[in-house]
Amino acid sequence: MKSILIIGLGEFGQHLCRRMAELKNEIMVMDLKPERVESMMPLVTNGQIGDCTNEEVLRSIGVNNFDICFVCIGTNFQSSLEVTSLLKENGAKYVVSKATRDIQAKFLLRNGADEVIYPDRDIAAKAAIRYSANHVYDYISVNSEYSIFEIPVKEEWVGKTIKEVNFRAKYKTNILGIKKNESTQLMPMADHEFDRNEHLMVIGKIDDIKRLLKGFENIKYEKNKKNR
């Protein structure tokens, strides 16, 4: 559990707040609009209505007490930049700021952000990969070289064990987990026998996974959809 400050309760800020609350973090939210703060109050430990570009406002809440401060201001980049800078100047331990363009990220990093996130760009990239291939259920980028894909079981694997398929050596990828119905088995043993209704969570170099996926071209999306 961490202590989280979320500044800006637009769509992204609200979604972030809800997810952080589900993960049992202690959250404080701040926004200029009272109705936004009020809507989040059942989920958070504290909420404040105020202008965070005012240094006195930030000082009053003790930003150095939070493990992570998120700057989720989406429509006013100047305000986002000012808040990011003020947070760091007032002792914030770790500042994560939202950006929509690379030029914004450069300014945010120069002005105190420890990390910059691109929610819209990242969601678009994930959607493009997922929906351009019928055989990919989900996708997570680890870095520029490695990714995690959720894929179906090839027909030729059904009834065989991971060891018999020689999965790691043959495909140069590792199986992180196996999903079936509502359950997930992490780090499966080598004697696990593949079932056609399973989904595999595999991690590896993107080029290696792409080669693996070439064998799924005959699997139809409609079939996969039924097995979800």
If asked whether residues 90 and 178 sit together in one domain, one would say no
pLDDT at 141: 80
pLDDT at 109: 96
If asked whether residues 66 and 20 sit together in one domain, one would say yes
How far is 202 from 178, CA to CA, in rounded Å?
9
If asked whether residues 219 and 194 sit together in one domain, one would say yes
If asked whether residues 13 and 79 sit together in one domain, one would say yes
Of the three residues 82, 117, 152, the one that is the final residue of a domain is 117
Q: Regarding beta strands 46-49 and 68-71, do their DSSP bridges make them parallel or antiparallel, or are they unpaired?
A: unpaired
Looking at per-residue pLDDT, the higher value among 126 and 56 belongs to 56
If asked whether residues 55 and 111 sit together in one domain, one would say yes
Domain range enclosing 76: 3-117
pLDDT of residue 33 exceeding 80: yes
Overall pTM > 0.75: no
- Token duo for residue 84: 């990011």
If asked whether residues 90 and 156 sit together in one domain, one would say no
If asked whether residues 69 and 130 sit together in one domain, one would say no
If asked whether residues 110 and 148 sit together in one domain, one would say no
User: What domain count does the chain have?
Assistant: 2
* Interval 176-207: pLDDT, tens: 999 998 899 999 999 999 999 999 999 999 88
pLDDT at 16: 95
If asked whether residues 95 and 180 sit together in one domain, one would say no
Query: Domain with 147 in it: what CATH number?
Result: 3.30.70.1450
* Interval 86-123: pLDDT, tens: 999 999 999 999 998 889 999 999 999 999 999 887 77
Mean pLDDT of 114-143: 80
Q: Per-residue b/e over 39-58, b at no fewer than 16 CB within 10 Å? A: bbeeebeebeebebbeeebb
If asked whether residues 131 and 69 sit together in one domain, one would say no
pLDDT at 123: 79
**Per-chain mean pLDDT for the chain:** 89
* Interval 146-170: pLDDT, tens: 889 999 999 999 999 999 999 999 9
How far is 54 from 156, CA to CA, in rounded Å?
63
If asked whether residues 83 and 145 sit together in one domain, one would say no
Query: Domain with 113 in it: what CATH number?
Result: 3.40.50.720
Q: DSSP letters of 163-196?
A: HHHTHHHHHSEEEEEEEETTEEEES--TTPBP-T
Of the three residues 86, 117, 148, the one that is the final residue of a domain is 117
Of the three residues 99, 117, 135, the one that is the final residue of a domain is 117
If asked whether residues 169 and 82 sit together in one domain, one would say no
